[in-house]
Amino acid sequence: MSKKILVTGGAGFIGSHTVDALIEERGYSVRVYDNLTPQVHGPGADRPAYLHPDAEFIKGDVRDRESLKKAVEGCAIVIHDAAEVGVGQSMYSIDQYISTNVQGTGVLWDILVNEKHTVEKVLVASSMSLYGEGRYFCKEHGRLCLEPRPEAQLREEQWEMRCPSCGRELEPLPTDETKELDCTSVYAQSKKDQEVYSLMIGRAHRVPTVACRYFNCYGPRQSLNNPYTGAAAIFCSAVMNGKPPLIYEDGLQIRDMIHVKDLVRGKLTVLENSAADYGIFNIGTGKPTSILKLAETLIDLCGKSFRPNVIKKFRNGDIRHCYADISRIRSLGFEPRLSIQEGLEDLVRWSRDQEATSRVEEAHRVLVQKGLVR
């Protein structure tokens, strides 16, 4: 009999693709635990049609101890993907993010420590947002880890990171797992707490645990109606509705965009390799993509002729550049397969059959009202 795996948040974007791979590629028995949050799934949502038919489904919240305890029963592995996601929203929906991400993780571990269970391994979804700014290089002073850009600099529309010693504009470098963490949002801090608590408690109680630091994931099933989801889905929704994507700063900030299929391959790599136990792993492509290039590619793939709306304003907590050094997970055999072009083509193909409501202007107005856009 195959091992049973519990995937919290398993009806969501990344979680549901994880479920597919576990069942179809590895033959695991899978139980999904998800609260079907309305912001992602719509009001009054039931089990999503895309969720694998062989997956068992339990609707429940990770903060509900009794319900989560029942979901854990009989499972050998827990993949803890359940979380509130979104940097901007986290800066005003503070209790929602901390209670779900931190308290929910605490409930899970309290069950694993204080109740009888059969869990042999835990994967916790962490985030590249923990790093704050990525690594940089100065031709005169070498590798640097820097504080966020001063607001006075941003008000002058001087977007690039500069060396604090010589003032030289810096070159972004791949960011590895040893970089000092510098959380610049409630979301980032909540994910850091999830990661730290999980590794700490896992080690203490000899439950092999792995923290997966997801970079900027995109692909089919990412909500096209949630204005706080990833940039690719937000831009895709806007373009589908004939609206130019709204871009902060100058659009030349870079991220590491990884297709969900590749990200799931990374998760399976660390899941099935004991050498990963108690470790922290970036899951990205190792290749930088500018936000402007991302938007322009989606506009082109959707056959539109307008340009992105680059507004030269900045959001509190935004970083300039961060992309992954994937040497550590690559040493376990992981290699991303999809280029950004191939991945975005897949996203656009899927989006043509979806209903999309672009709410980015509404989200922008809320951030302005809260004083988080300057």
* Positions marked active-site: 187
Query: What burial class does residue 355 get, using C-beta atoms within 10 Å of its C-beta: 0-12 exposed, 13-18 middle, 19+ buried?
Result: exposed
CA 204 from centroid of its chain's CA atoms: 27
Q: Where are the alpha helices (DSSP H) in 260-339?
A: 260-271, 291-301, 327-330
- Quickly tell me which residue has 């990205």 as its tokens: 284
Q: Classify 23 in phi/psi space as left (phi over 0), alpha (psi -120 to 50) or beta.
A: alpha
Paired sense of beta strands 254-255 and 216-218, if any: unpaired
> Taking Cα atoms as reference points, which of 347, 366, 164, 352 lies closest to residue 262?
347
Taking the alpha carbons at both ends of the chain, their separation in whole angstroms is 57
C-alpha 11: how far from chain center: 15
Dmax (CA) for the chain in angstroms is 63
The Cα–Cα gap between 333 and 158 comes to: 40
| Phi, psi (deg, nearest 5) at residue 164 | -70, -15
Place of tokens 């937000």: 234
Instruction: Decide if 29 contacts 5 (C-beta within 8 A).
Output: yes
How many whole angstroms separate alpha carbon 295 and alpha carbon 23? 34
